[in-house]
């Protein structure tokens, strides 16, 4: 599978059956419907998070482009821009 920049896919080996999933003492085993419901919720959340990551990466790329265009010849300006870029990257 080819992944583009910023895409992360996590997969897990499926359990042979929902009954094989661990449960706490006294709890009933998972049903196939419960596992399917949780899987669907997690896949929806993962897709939303991948979309959000893509948007943030795009915003940062735009921000870095603006920073380069606005950079002056002053050494302090350049240093300040580098510090801000590293701060933004760390937040991402």
Q: How many domains does the chain have?
A: 1
The verdict on residue 53 lying in a domain is yes
The verdict on residue 83 lying in a domain is yes
First to last CA, the chain: 25
Whole-number pLDDT of residue 49: 95
The verdict on residue 15 lying in a domain is no
Whole-number pLDDT of residue 1: 37
- For 23-67, write each residue's pLDDT tens digit: 899 988 888 899 999 999 999 999 999 999 999 888 888 877 766
Q: Enumerate residues 6+ apart whose C-beta is below 8 A from 46.
A: 10
The verdict on residue 50 lying in a domain is yes
- For 10-26, write each residue's pLDDT tens digit: 555 555 577 788 889 99
Long-range contacts at 17-21 (CB < 8 A, ≥ 24 apart): none
Q: Is the pTM of this model over 0.75?
A: no
Question: 85 lies in which domain range?
Answer: 30-91
């Amino acid at each position: 599978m080819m992944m583009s920049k910023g895409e992360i896919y996590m997969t897990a080996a499926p359990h042979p059956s929902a009954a094989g999933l661990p449960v706490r003492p006294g709890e009933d085993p998972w049903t196939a419907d419960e596992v399917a419901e949780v899987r669907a919720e997690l896949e929806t959340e993962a897709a939303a998070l991948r979309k959000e990551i893509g948007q943030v990466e795009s915003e940062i790329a735009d921000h870095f482009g603006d920073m380069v265009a606005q950079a002056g010849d002053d050494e302090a300006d350049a240093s300040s821009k580098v510090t801000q870029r590293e701060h933004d990257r760390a937040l991402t």
